[in-house]
A and B are shown apart, each in its own frame.
Chain A
């Protein structure tokens, strides 16, 4: 349980859909560590199991799907896969938070964005209604939403995609988690907004000192954001290492193929 150890230690994690026995594995025994405050990147093509891995850490599964998880996901030495449901609720959002791929679908359409941050703060931190409200407005300001006090009372449909992702990020960091999992946080956004959201994540990571697990299908997003990279292919980690080393000297043919796809995005980002 020492602070020197890894924040998150994943060992032989497997995930399979379907009834136990007849289950087809989509994550096939992956292992990795995330140190406190460290930023790691997961890169891989669509369908390779990135989202399933990210959700497995928080033991989340899509509604109606039966997912069988195996292996070990140790957070500060405690295996999350063995935790009682009640204690798992204390980890979700509070210790490990997550930002999802599609900001248009991530917010509850019948609650104001302020209420959706409030309910989390009040649940995890026992804040009073007024204190939670103040903190919500601060958070919205922190993620760069102008006039946060009045925007907090707006509904999600009154925000653009980029703004909604900012709201999702404000929500995710509201309880100052130790680890933020960002599952393709910019895929649904256009290029200029992508860059802004990435800069925001980078800034918050340093300000709050939290670890970051950034998931993406394109190497262009990883550059300058993380220290370690894990390349995923068909449910396995096929290459891992420091981000510079992998950019300079990729070993796996699949990694080379992924790297070959970046230049276009790099130029776009430099010119913006």
Chain B
């Protein structure tokens, strides 16, 4: 397809994300306020505070006003890039969120790379080698699928905490401070986050490679006398890639969701932990911002997947 068609497709997809984001923000807004309790009560905790004092806090934060008024106020700010101030820290939410977003972005990116490399390699191996390699990969996959990633994470924490305390898995180090220590401190969390997703990618790669292997054009390639490597790369892998890319892209949402648990378990100061804390304190502006950012990332990734899809497979067109 031509560059023009592609450009229009991307613009259309991007335009479509706007109404979706609006919908997401409304739902997040409503759901948070449907939860029992609010910031004032959460802040008060178990100490007894008079009803008037609680009302004063609510009035100051504006959460005593009608919902639609609160939403419109939030929306008009969000449209010009102002995500409001945190109830807890009183700082602009954007300033609180950015460093945590970067941490989560790094964690999910590492987990994504691990999941993709591990998943496609094992999937390819089990489809091509068959026999015992196939059994081994599929067995491990079933096992990993049966065990949720927070269990894997907890096991890793226990294992390293008991036997290799020197590794220091709870020492999250910022990238700017020591890049190498930063990478090693995120490696185990990224592994426990990526393992479950690698299973999905592995199973899909295996199915795609088997499907492509039985196509006539693969036998044609052999009849042409091409070397095995060229057939594997240009005929098998390139064709199997299309469905795998789609699956991998859709797994990003799973990675973001999983990061909430993983960051809490490994005490990583990322967006997941931030969300967990914000929900606990009913810090509405923070929650709204996190949901909006997460939804934007997932939607943009979907557009990226569509672009990748069209680049790999010429038959895909967006008329």
Binding site for B on A (CB under 8 A): 55, 58, 60, 62-64, 89-94, 97-98, 100, 102, 105-112, 119-120, 123-124, 155, 157, 168, 171
**How far apart are A87's CB and chain B's nearest CB, in angstroms?**
10
**How far apart are B67's CB and chain A's nearest CB, in angstroms?**
51
In Å, the complex CA distance between A97 and B216 comes to 15
Point out the residues of chain B lying under 8 angstroms from A93, CB to CB.
Answer: 223-226
Q: In the complex, which residue of chain B has the Cβ closest to the Cβ of A110?
A: B238
Point out the residues of chain B lying under 8 angstroms from A63, CB to CB.
Answer: 213-214, 218-219
Interface of B is mostly: helix
Whether A64 contacts B214 by the Cβ 8 Å rule is: yes
Which of B215, B221, B225, B315 is in CB contact (< 8 Å) with A91? B225
In Å, the complex CA distance between A55 and B223 comes to 9
B4 within 8 A of A: no
B residues 208-222 with Cβ under 8 Å of A?
213-222
In Å, the complex CA distance between A194 and B224 comes to 24
Point out the residues of chain A lying under 8 angstroms from B312, CB to CB.
Answer: 110
22 A–B contacts from the bound complex (CB under 8 Å):
A60-B223, A62-B214, A63-B213, A91-B225, A92-B222, A93-B224, A100-B223, A105-B215, A106-B216, A106-B220, A107-B217, A108-B217, A108-B221, A110-B314, A112-B314, A119-B230, A120-B224, A123-B225, A123-B230, A155-B314, A155-B315, A171-B224
Instruction: From B224, B226, B235, name the one whose CB has the most chain A CB atoms within 10 angstroms.
Output: B224
Instruction: From B213, B218, B222, name the one whose CB has the most chain A CB atoms within 10 angstroms.
Output: B222
Residues of B in contact, count (CB < 8 Å): 25
Whether A89 contacts B215 by the Cβ 8 Å rule is: no
Whether A110 contacts B225 by the Cβ 8 Å rule is: no
Q: In the complex, which residue of chain A has the Cβ closest to the Cβ of B239?
A: A110
Whether B213 contacts A102 by the Cβ 8 Å rule is: no
Point out the residues of chain A lying under 8 angstroms from B239, CB to CB.
Answer: 108-110
Q: In the complex, which residue of chain B has the Cβ closest to the Cβ of A92?
A: B225
